[in-house]
């Protein structure tokens, strides 16, 4: 099988003054910043030998595709409904009125399931591999569909819980490189406007030389705050937020594998994320509104991450 690249581009930023969850609503165009970011994405694809550009029928995706197409004037642009945003009953809701963790994939409400989104995106990708062997094709789509396609090929479960992981950034390029039909594709992701690069789910979070034994350093993985901890030369990566009042654990102290929160002195094992000691409150907590006693929040385990070293570079991924 000749090497075939299918590049999924998430549309750029959208003009959304009323802050609604637009989903498949029509007439949502790129914002001024979105037009600039789309141009940065187009520049990143300038040297790519594109055979075709496919786009979702949504206006914001078509506008992003047109910006890319300006630098590839002889490349055809084709609309495909297989690249559409997810179908969900939350369409048109204002973000302020939505629950903190909405279920976008409630089949009982007529929503697409995560598996259905994966299936249609995969169907188009297979169609393009057959139609453009040995070539490169851009597909402009939306955050959730691209995320779900990537999840499936990286072995993540196609569930609603997994789909709550962060979307790829607007204007980002997720490349599926196919070289062997019997093997999974090599998946990379680039954010042209920040330079952030992922290989599979591995993301560079820093260098080992930046964190001396007994020290910690803040970083991010998939856009989420984490800390890097050096325990006798071994690097561990764990969620940075304590869970109480947004305190950051890297501002606390590290003793062996135990990190202590600087606010309420809860303690966690940086290797497992398990709670070593519950939060310590010097006095009873009371509501600022009416002075009533507040129930103490339970100290929950923190997420830990797989770590890979490559020379001095430290890479991490969601476990």
Please tell me whether residues 154 and 92 are part of one structural domain. Answer: yes
Please tell me whether residues 33 and 84 are part of one structural domain. Answer: yes
Please tell me whether residues 89 and 185 are part of one structural domain. Answer: yes
How high is the pLDDT of residue 22?
95
How high is the pLDDT of residue 262?
86
Which residues partner with 217 through β-bridges? Answer: 228
Domain count within the chain: 2
How high is the pLDDT of residue 42?
98
Please tell me whether residues 96 and 244 are part of one structural domain. Answer: no
Collapsing DSSP to helix, strand or coil, 53 comes out as strand
How high is the pLDDT of residue 104?
93
Please tell me whether residues 141 and 50 are part of one structural domain. Answer: yes
Q: Could you tell me whether strands 202-207 and 196-199 are parallel, antiparallel, or unpaired per DSSP bridges?
A: antiparallel
CATH code, 36: 3.40.50.1240
Tens-binned pLDDT, residue by residue, of the chain (319 aa): 799 999 999 999 999 999 999 999 999 999 999 999 999 999 999 999 999 999 999 999 999 999 999 999 999 999 999 999 999 999 999 999 998 778 999 999 999 999 999 999 999 999 999 999 999 999 999 999 999 999 999 888 898 888 887 789 999 999 999 998 778 899 999 999 988 877 766 788 889 999 999 999 999 887 789 999 999 999 999 999 887 666 899 999 999 999 999 888 889 999 999 999 887 764 555 555 666 655 566 788 999 999 989 888 898 987 7
Question: Is the Cβ–Cβ distance between 309 and 298 less than 8 Å?
Answer: no
Please tell me whether residues 104 and 248 are part of one structural domain. Answer: no
Please tell me whether residues 138 and 208 are part of one structural domain. Answer: no
Read off the tokens for 110. Answer: 């007529």
Domain extent at residue 274: 204-318
CA dihedral 28, 32, 37, 42 (to 10 degrees): 80
How high is the pLDDT of residue 291?
63
Sequence-ordered list of residues with C-beta below 8 angstroms from that of 168, at least 6 positions apart, any chain: 10, 143, 146, 147, 150, 174, 189, 191
Please tell me whether residues 160 and 215 are part of one structural domain. Answer: no
How many other C-beta atoms are found inside a 10 Å radius of the C-beta of residue 151? 20
Please tell me whether residues 14 and 144 are part of one structural domain. Answer: yes
Please tell me whether residues 218 and 112 are part of one structural domain. Answer: no
Read off the tokens for 81. Answer: 């409904």
Q: Where are the alpha helices (DSSP H) in the chain?
A: 32-44, 59-70, 114-131, 143-153
How high is the pLDDT of residue 224?
82
Label each residue of 142-209 as H, E or C: CHHHHHHHHHHHCCCCCCCCHHHCCCCCCCCEEEEEECCCCCCCEEEEEECCCCEEEECCEEEEEEHH
């Amino acid at each position: 099988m000749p090497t075939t690249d299918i590049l999924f581009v998430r549309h750029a930023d959208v003009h959304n003054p009323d802050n609604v969850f637009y989903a498949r609503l029509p007439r949502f165009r790129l914002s001024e910043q979105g037009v600039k970011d789309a141009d940065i994405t187009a520049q990143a694809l300038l040297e790519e030998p594109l055979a075709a550009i496919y786009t979702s029928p949504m206006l914001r995706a078509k506008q992003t595709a047109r910006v890319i197409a300006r630098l590839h004037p002889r490349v055809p642009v084709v609309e495909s409904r297989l690249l559409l945003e997810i179908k969900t009953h939350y369409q048109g809701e204002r973000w302020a009125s939505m629950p903190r963790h909405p279920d976008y994939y409630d089949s009982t409400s007529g929503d697409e399931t995560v598996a259905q989104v994966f299936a249609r995106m995969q169907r188009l990708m297979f169609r393009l591999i057959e139609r453009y062997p040995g070539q490169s094709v851009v597909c402009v789509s939306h955050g959730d569909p691209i995320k779900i396609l990537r999840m499936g090929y990286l072995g993540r479960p196609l569930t609603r819980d997994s789909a709550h992981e962060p979307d790829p950034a607007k204007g980002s390029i997720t490349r599926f490189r196919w070289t062997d039909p019997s093997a999974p594709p090599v998946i990379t992701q680039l954010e042209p406007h920040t330079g952030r690069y992922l290989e599979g789910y591995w993301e560079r979070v820093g260098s080992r030389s930046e964190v001396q034994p007994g020290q910690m350093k803040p970083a991010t993985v998939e856009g989420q705050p984490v800390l890097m901890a050096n325990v006798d030369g071994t690097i561990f990566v764990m969620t940075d937020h304590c869970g109480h009042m947004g305190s950051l654990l890297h501002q606390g102290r590290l003793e062996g594998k135990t990190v202590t929160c600087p606010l309420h002195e809860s303690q966690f094992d940086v290797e497992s994320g398990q709670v070593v000691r519950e939060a310590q409150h010097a006095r009873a907590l009371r509501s600022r509104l009416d002075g009533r006693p507040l129930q103490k929040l339970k100290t929950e385990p923190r997420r830990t991450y797989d770590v890979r070293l490559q020379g001095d570079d430290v890479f991490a991924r969601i476990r």
